[in-house]
Amino acid sequence: MTAADTRAMCWLLQQPQAARRARLARQVSRLGDGPFYVALTLLIWWFDKEGGSLFALTAMAAYALEVPLFVGLKHLIQRPRPADALESLSAFIQPADRFSFPSGHTAAAFVMASLLSVFYPPVMALALGLAVMVGLSRVLLGVHYPSDILAGATLGFSCAMIGLWLV
């Protein structure tokens, strides 16, 4: 898997359009930051008088699982970021930490997308599409391998489902 990840990263980041794609990817990646999900959850809680409180409670439970799990996995596995492991690559942004597996941005995006899909099915395609774009942006920025994204998506979806079960 590491060999396939390395080949994919080298191919993507050595394309002539890599820098241009990285500018757009940087904007998309910001959707994976925590403040966006807090604001979205508060808006849903405020405007949806019937289901907003349950959505917010479920989101809090899911993120209470996801955040320590992704941090713990990163420190347990300690997979170096692509630019740290491959001299021929350089990242387009400075990541918040040293390790890449799993992608925390992708995990957070998939928690939110999964919960939105369950609570508000009409937005499923948009929510999942944005989550996939957040994950892809992390690869295009050179801070994650494709398998980091797959692991983050799996972690985020799983935490959302456990959060639904708990609440």
* Catalytically active residues, by annotation: 105, 144
Report how far residue 105's alpha carbon sits from residue 57's, in angstroms, rounded to the nearest whole number.
21
Query: 80 pairs with which residues across the strands?
Result: 99
Token look-up 């508000």 returns 120
Report how far residue 102's alpha carbon sits from residue 77's, in angstroms, rounded to the nearest whole number.
9
- Per-residue burial over 68-92, b if 16 or more Cβ lie within 10 Å, else e, is ebbeebbeeeebebbbeeeeebebb
Per the structure block, which two tokens stand in for 68? 């320590």
